[in-house]
A and B are shown apart, each in its own frame.
Chain A
């Protein structure tokens, strides 16, 4: 594997994560718990799709197909997203918990990528850093609010955290590109990122009155980065690409 291939691996998993979680979270549009939250959550979902487009454009510059083709013509087996992002939206407590766990990982990923030796990626990371920072503020405020809310809200958030945890660890699935990316100062690597993520979210979760599952229960759900997905991804892709499949030239 050369450094271009390593870079593509990194960009694909980031872009695919953003696209799939963006699409998933957009399923709440019109169904959010209150108007203001509906607007905020929908805007953030749109941000994610926008971020994925910028990352697909970087891939296009490296010789991959254009963003629409890459986003709309692949099957589940060709996606490098983590299994975490493709899980159904569930009830709002799960969507919020996923938003919290995923967005803090993305926040720290983009924070480190601002220093990436691959300048185009560093530029994209700087451009979207503020956007993602807001996403983490939104997520943390909600998790804190509901974690310390009443018995029902606390229970729902804790159940969602327990369910989401091993999937969230799957975000940091190591790939063959790790060593090259680290050696060439393109990216700090998934292991380092996971450490930073645990350092940041552990006190926040504790402060919300919630508990991270004990380490003996940690079994990261890997596979997504290699195209092994749950049964939930292919139906999502079919729904997302419905218009494109009927008319690839449709403009909207």
Chain B
């Protein structure tokens, strides 16, 4: 290693200078080999679905939960958090994404196309009682 790459960083930020960081030091990351990624799922209230929000790096689930809280729940209303090792996720291949194509004539499978939603919404707007005729 040449002399220049081994100097401590001098900064206008006194904290940086105090930390005596060597400019040539690139070995720090090697110690992180035992870290893995965890998928983070966030629930905003009890009973609601947990929704996938991102990942964190951590050496174990306990630490992953600590980090998930800071990164995904600090500014969100939160009831609960799950973390799951990314290695536990099984996924389809993008090259097989044609399996998800739905033929146009099978759109009846999509519940959003049901006409009954209009009547349900109208029922809700009227604030009617369950015994009302729809």
A138 interface contact, C-beta 8 A: yes
* Main SS at interface, chain A: helix
A43–B57 CB distance below 8 A: no
| Segment of A33-41, A59-67, A176-184 engaged in the interface with chain B | A33-41
| Segment of B12-20, B84-92, B116-124, B126-134 engaged in the interface with chain A | B12-20
B62–A141 CB distance below 8 A: yes
Q: Please, what's the 1-or-0 string for B36-73, where 1 marks a CB less than 8 Å from any CB in chain A? A: 00000000000000000000111110110011011100
B57–A35 CB distance below 8 A: yes
Expressed in whole angstroms, the minimum distance between the Cβ of A168 and any Cβ of chain B is: 22
B66–A43 CB distance below 8 A: no
B32 interface contact, C-beta 8 A: yes
Expressed in whole angstroms, the minimum distance between the Cβ of A95 and any Cβ of chain B is: 12
Q: How far is the CA of A239 from the CA of B74 in the complex (A)?
A: 28
B66–A138 CB distance below 8 A: yes
B67–A31 CB distance below 8 A: no
B56–A36 CB distance below 8 A: yes
Q: Please, what's the 1-or-0 string for B1-36, where 1 marks a CB less than 8 Å from any CB in chain A? A: 000000000000011101101000000000010010
Which chain A residues border B58 with CB–CB below 8 Å?
A: 36
Q: Which of A15-45 contact B (CB under 8 A)?
A: 27, 29-31, 34-37, 39-40, 43
How many residues of B are counted as interface, with CB atoms below 8 angstroms from the partner's CB atoms? 21
How many residues of A are counted as interface, with CB atoms below 8 angstroms from the partner's CB atoms? 18
Expressed in whole angstroms, the minimum distance between the Cβ of B75 and any Cβ of chain A is: 10
Expressed in whole angstroms, the minimum distance between the Cβ of A234 and any Cβ of chain B is: 14
Expressed in whole angstroms, the minimum distance between the Cβ of B84 and any Cβ of chain A is: 16
B15–A27 CB distance below 8 A: yes
Given the known A-B contacts A27-B15, A34-B32, A34-B35, are A145 and B59 also in contact in the complex, defined by CB atoms under 8 Å?
Answer: yes
Which chain B residues border A142 with CB–CB below 8 Å?
A: 63
Given the known A-B contacts A34-B32, A34-B35, A34-B57, are A40 and B15 also in contact in the complex, defined by CB atoms under 8 Å?
Answer: no
Cβ-defined partner of B66 (8 Å) among A27, A30, A40, A239: A40
A218 interface contact, C-beta 8 A: no
Q: Which of A34-93 contact B (CB under 8 A)?
A: 34-37, 39-40, 43
Q: How far is the CA of A30 from the CA of B17 in the complex (A)?
A: 13
Cβ-defined partner of A36 (8 Å) among B16, B21, B60, B71: B71
Q: List 19 A-B contacts (CB under 8 A).
A: A30-B15, A31-B21, A34-B32, A36-B56, A36-B67, A36-B71, A37-B67, A39-B70, A39-B71, A40-B66, A43-B70, A43-B74, A138-B66, A141-B63, A141-B66, A142-B63, A145-B60, A145-B63, A239-B14
Interface set of B (CB-CB < 8 Å, partner A):
14-16, 18-19, 21, 32, 35, 56-60, 62-63, 66-67, 69-71, 74
